[in-house]
Amino acid sequence: MVNPIGILLKLRYRIPTLLYVGESVHDIGNDVPYLLMKMLMKTADVQIYVSHYIKNQYRGAYARYVRVVYNCLERNQLNVPVVPRNAIRKFLMVGRISYKKGQMIAVRAIHLLRDVYPTISLTIVGTGDSSDIEKYVMDNNLQNHVKLVGWTDHPEVFYHSCDCSIICSENEAFGKVIIESMAFGCPVIGRAVAAMPELIEDNKTGLLYSGTYIELAEKMKELIDNPEKANRIAANAYEYVNRTFSIDNTVGQLEACVNLCIK
């Protein structure tokens, strides 16, 4: 995350330096000792953070100029034609399969709701160790309700075909899947941790839950029973992402950061 060579070149030749920080302080590993890393970070002229959540983790290491610039969507992901959902039954998770991504939380929520909503389903798109999920599915006869489809280079197919996107991660520096889901008209339920509350305004552009599978099931039930609310949330989110996460917006913010760096 911090390139000591770049910082040393800045100090030696007085080159203006812009530092981009896109990962949690908890994920940086042991490549650079934390106190040394903070000292090096302060020498940058401008720091850009991927979210306010990440920025707040680096208090005490700020440069003179500090900015938050969100990731953007591709042009072909914006202003995509979408249609309202007639019913909310098909749930979706996209991303690497791991304990920290929380796929098992969603699987357990599906298990809780299956008897009340026999057509409910969860599609999990991604690669990783899925052995625990597969065992749970087999042990609880969820084969008709949970599908692991591996990875795809075209997740938009699933955003279009599913009714609601779920994000259960313990720690998201940003949450690209959230804005991708919104851009394709897929209402979102996200865990109220890390950067997710920055992107999801509860009950307006999505739903937030605290982290337990029981509360997640309650939020899923809320949308199942109220498809009008799901469509209203999806419409709000669609307008929000198309207004906020364009390449032009991001480029403009980055250009402003570069100008700060060289002025």
Domains and CATH numbers, the chain: 4-72+246-262 (no CATH), 75-244 (3.40.50.2000)
**CB-based contact 166:92 (threshold 8 Å):** yes
* Strand ordering across the sheet containing 146-150: 146-150, 121-125, 90-94, 164-167, 188-191, 207-209
pLDDT in the model for residue 263 = 76
pLDDT at 155: 94
- In contact, 247 and 74? CB cutoff 8 Å: yes
**pLDDT number for residue 8:** 75
**Per-run averaged pLDDT (10 residues), the chain, 263 residues:** 67 85 74 74 92 94 95 96 95 98 99 98 98 99 98 94 98 96 98 98 98 98 98 98 97 96 84
pTM (2 decimals)? 0.93
CA gap 117, 130 in Å, rounded: 25
Tokens 């009340």 appear where?
116
Three-state secondary structure call for residue 98: coil
Which of 221, 209, 249 is closest to 69 using CA atoms? 249
SS3 153: coil
Q: Is 124 strand, coil or helix? A: strand
Whole-number Å distance between alpha carbons of 164 and 51: 24
Cα angle for residues 199, 2, 261 (degrees, 5° grid):
75
Nearest to 194 by CA among 25, 19, 1: 25
> Rounded CA gap, 53 and 10, in Å?
27
Structure tokens at 263: 């002025």
Q: b/e map of 158-181 (b: 16 or more CB within 10 Å)?
A: bbeebbbbbbbbebbbbbbbbbbb
Confidence at residue 30, expressed as pLDDT on a 0 to 100 scale: 57
Dist. CA 263–CA 257, nearest whole Å = 10
